[in-house]
A = this chain, B = another copy of it.
Amino acid sequence: MKLIYTGKTKDVYALEDGNYLLKFKDDVTGENGVFDPGANTVGLTMEGAGKAGLRLTKYFFEILKEKEIPTHYIDADINNATMTVKPATVFGKGLEVICRYRAVGSFLRRYGMYAEEGQALDAFVEVTIKDDERQDPPISEDALDMLGILSSAEYKVLKELTQTIGHVVKDELAKKGVELYDIKFEFGRVDDGAQIVLIDEISGGNMRAYKDGQYVEPLELEKLIVG
């Protein structure tokens, strides 16, 4: 087992059988000790955040498996905070795909001239480049295609998958009285690019969830949904 990547919130190991092992860490993104799913820096360490994130991820990935929505998930070991996944290659040097149901965060910072804070959005999908130095700029379908990052045909698959998975998560949260404002996904290609699948995780660290108008912290969200 060989460490091949050290991420902000998890490490990636290559297994002998060709699969990957993700080790979930207790670090979460944010700034100055305040959690922010859109931040590029590790803002704080929360004990149990890794296992909680994995528990939620396992919960959602197994629902997706039942619904035959493609992901890289194979299985998870909660005690060791690890998840075994199929090897996938990311688009370019990595993209983030956001699905928005309410106008908050960077959407509002960009389009505040036309949107009210908290305004309902109809599963709006946008793609950003993972590029800390350039503050994860948004990128259009045309630019993704032209720069050879993602073809227009792949973009359509990505957008549809994003909305489908977003709705699954939104519905699950709604069962517990929690409202999903937005969620961030990562996708990759498996089987030599033959299929696009959801990769990474689905946890409190990747979404903004609210209950009775109050923001739900990642650890609390895990307790509400799978506790």
- Please list the residues of chain A having a beta carbon within 8 angstroms of any beta carbon in chain B: 92-93, 109-115, 121-122, 124-126, 129, 131, 133-134, 137-143, 146-149
Contacts and interface: CB of A to CB of B under 8 A. Distances in A.
B122 A143 contact: no
Contacts of A111: 129, 137, 139, 143, 147
What is the total number of copies of this protein in its complex?
2
A107 to B, nearest CB: 8
B110 A126 contact: no
Closest 6 CB pairs of A and B: A110-B137, A114-B147, A113-B131, A140-B140, A124-B146, A122-B146
Contacts of A121: 146
Nearest to A148: B114
Interface of chain A: mostly helix, strand, loop or mixed: mixed
Contacts of A110: 129, 134, 137, 139
Given A121-B146, A124-B146, A114 B140 contact: no
11 contacts: A111-B129, A113-B134, A114-B129, A114-B148, A114-B149, A124-B142, A125-B142, A138-B138, A138-B140, A140-B140, A140-B141
Nearest to A131: B113
A78 to B, nearest CB: 36
A40 B112 CA distance: 18
Contacts of A129: 110-111, 113-114
A133 B109 CA distance: 10
